[in-house]
């Protein structure tokens, strides 16, 4: 009886360890994609950068008007990459999560950028057996004690944009 219990516990332990190892391996693969994506921008490698994005991906920038499809973001970004200088973001902290199917992942990261600390967050999907960035949101971080000043800085422009967006609603 003791031998059967020992074998069962060993099997359960190996199964759990195997699943944990597989998930850690997937998280590492996702981190490699994100690191490679940021490096491709820093190296102004247009093809490498956009090859890491899913076919139907979206990039949301720091400006409220920036909601780019992949094709639109490629067109906007091309002149920067062509000049050999895109942007250089380095992750200083990252959290990665994977759904139970192993086909969707999401993350958030703090980035060291020319704008100081920014937050990136997004979703990756498996496309052709590889992890691809499907949705990325870049946000500037503002310390809580500086929020009032930031609001004052952007209030006029935000008010105009809000009115424009609300007037364009169809429902």
| Closest to 34 in 3D by CA, of 79, 77, 89, 80 | 89
Return the pLDDT at 8: 55
Domains of the chain: 2-167 (3.10.450.50)
Banded model confidence at residue 24, pLDDT cuts 50, 70, 90: confident
DSSP string, 6-74: HHHHHHHHHHHHHHHHHHHHHHHHHHHHHHHHHHHHHTT-HHHHHHTEEEEEEEE-SSTT-EEEHHHHH
- Give residue-wise pLDDT tens across range 26-48: 999 999 999 999 999 999 999 99
The rounded distance, in Å, linking the Cα atoms of 103 and 110 is 24
Question: Residue 106, Cα to own-chain centre: how many angstroms?
Answer: 7
Q: What is the pLDDT of residues 96-137, one digit of tens each?
A: 999 999 999 999 999 999 999 999 999 999 999 999 999 999
């Amino acid at each position: 009886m003791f031998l059967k219990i020992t074998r069962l516990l060993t099997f359960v332990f190996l199964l759990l360890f195997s699943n944990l190892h597989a998930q850690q391996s997937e998280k590492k693969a996702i981190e490699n994609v994100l690191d490679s994506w940021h490096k491709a921008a820093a190296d102004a490698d247009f093809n490498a950068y956009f090859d890491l994005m899913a076919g139907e991906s979206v990039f949301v920038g720091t400006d409220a008007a920036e909601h780019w499809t992949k094709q639109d973001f490629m067109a906007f970004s091309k002149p920067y990459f062509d000049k050999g200088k895109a942007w250089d973001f380095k992750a200083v902290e990252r959290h990665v999560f994977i759904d139970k199917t192993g086909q969707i992942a999401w993350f958030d990261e703090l980035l060291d950028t020319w704008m100081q600390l920014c937050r990136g967050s997004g979703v990756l999907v498996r496309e052709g057996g590889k992890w691809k960035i499907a949705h990325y949101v870049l946000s500037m971080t503002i310390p809580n004690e500086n929020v009032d000043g930031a609001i004052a800085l952007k209030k006029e422009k935000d008010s105009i944009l809000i009115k424009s967006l609300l007037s364009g609603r169809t429902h």
